[in-house]
A = this chain, B = another copy of it.
Amino acid sequence: MKAARLHEYGKPLVIEDIPIPEIQADEILVKVTACGVCRTDAELIDGYFNRYFEIPTPITLGHEIAGEVAEMGRDVPSSAFQKGDHVVVVPGWGDGTCRHCQVGNTQLCPNVRYPGFGPYGGFAEYLPVPARYLIKVGKSLKSEELAPLTDAGLTPFRAIKKLRRADALGPDRVLGVFGLGGLGGYAVQYAKLQGGGATIVVFERDARKLEMAKTYGADVAVNITDRSATDVANELEAATGQRDLDAIIDCVGTPEMMQFGFSLLGISGHYVDVGLLGDRIDIPLFPRINREQSFYGSNWGNFTDLSEVMSLAAKGKIQHNIKTIGFDQLNETIDALRHGKISGRAVLKIDGK
């Protein structure tokens, strides 16, 4: 089968022909129909994660996977799946025994496996997936729209839930969305759905993305290019009546963005980060205490989160902004992501389906 694999860190993916993988008794062989291309793919190639854990090559990348059931392992009950079923892949396969797995947070398992971060991934025609990490979806939904919902459209969903559960959102609150790349567009939509009437303000540097913010439902879009915090606070006040933010979802994660974000965060403010463009939090301590703020890291999403996202997709409540590509465009697309040049999501479409 065709697959795009990383053989050496820092080098482009190699499009090559490899054997179709075998499956275990509890696994399903998924025929990939679409796989989202993510900035994290660029970071993986560039060795961002190597300081924490080094994945041996070759690696088949691609972690936003939609596909079809091609073959079922011996122990998979036929009541659960049938050949030809359309599915999406839940990321974060836990060992099922740890404290986190026991409450469904399999993506936090110390022994977690992620598709696209090891031998099997979605930049290939097939991959084996434990049956319990597949969610069936309606056949009328487009696979290229579903695929990105397993990361770009899943990660901010979980993060917004954290804000909602922290009671950070509501009619008289102002939520800042930082960055309108792959995740930010979904973040704005979920903020509309989950925010209970909160005012949503997008902060971006890219004028084209700022315009898109409005189409996703943002109330205000602020261009922060070369702006001081005071300057931005003035614009915020004019637009919303308050100079600071009650909550922030940061889809960027550079030290500068975090410093900027915390400087705008109000009393009892909540900050959730899903962005990983940097790897340092470097901010003053006193205002965190004095203003009693909270910070949450949020890691991808679990089965329950993805089920909820699929429910929204099935109801037609998610607006998609995708562009399909073929294997031959993969490396250039990853490079464009590396430089922040993609708005919405590029999705590898396999077999033109």
Which residues in A have some Cβ–Cβ distance to B below 8 Å? 25-26, 49, 52, 75, 80, 96-97, 99-100, 102-105, 108, 110, 132, 164-165, 167, 170-172, 193-194, 196-197, 199, 253, 258, 267-268, 273-274, 276, 278-299, 302-304, 307-309, 311-312, 315, 317
Contact = CB atoms under 8 A, between A and B. Distances in A.
Contacts of A309: 171
A297 B296 CA distance: 12
Contact of A99 (B102, B172, B274, B289): B172
B280 A284 contact: yes
Nearest to A303: B102
Nearest to A290: B299
Given A279-B284, A297-B291, A312-B197, A307 B99 contact: yes
How many copies the complex holds: the figure is 4
Nearest to A283: B281
Given A99-B307, A193-B197, A296-B294, A288 B273 contact: yes
Contact of A282 (B102, B268, B282): B282
A295 B292 contact: no
A313 to B, nearest CB: 9
A300 to B, nearest CB: 9
B294 A286 contact: no
B297 A294 contact: yes
A174 to B, nearest CB: 11
A52 B290 contact: yes
Given A194-B196, A268-B100, A284-B280, A289 B274 contact: yes
A256 to B, nearest CB: 12
26 contacts: A52-B287, A99-B307, A100-B267, A102-B304, A105-B292, A108-B267, A108-B291, A164-B196, A171-B193, A171-B317, A172-B311, A194-B196, A194-B197, A199-B315, A273-B288, A274-B289, A279-B285, A280-B283, A280-B284, A281-B282, A281-B283, A281-B285, A289-B299, A293-B296, A294-B296, A295-B296
Contacts of A280: 282-285
A172 B303 CA distance: 13
B80 A132 contact: no
A280 B259 CA distance: 12
Given A104-B103, A281-B283, A315-B171, A273 B297 contact: no
B298 A295 contact: no
A302 B102 CA distance: 9
A53 to B, nearest CB: 9
Given A289-B298, A293-B297, 15 more contacts: A49-B286, A52-B287, A103-B304, A108-B291, A171-B317, A172-B308, A197-B311, A197-B317, A274-B289, A279-B285, A280-B283, A281-B282, A281-B284, A281-B285, A292-B297
Contacts of A258: 285
A297 B271 CA distance: 12
Contacts of A25: 75
Contacts of A311: 171-172, 197
Nearest to A304: B102
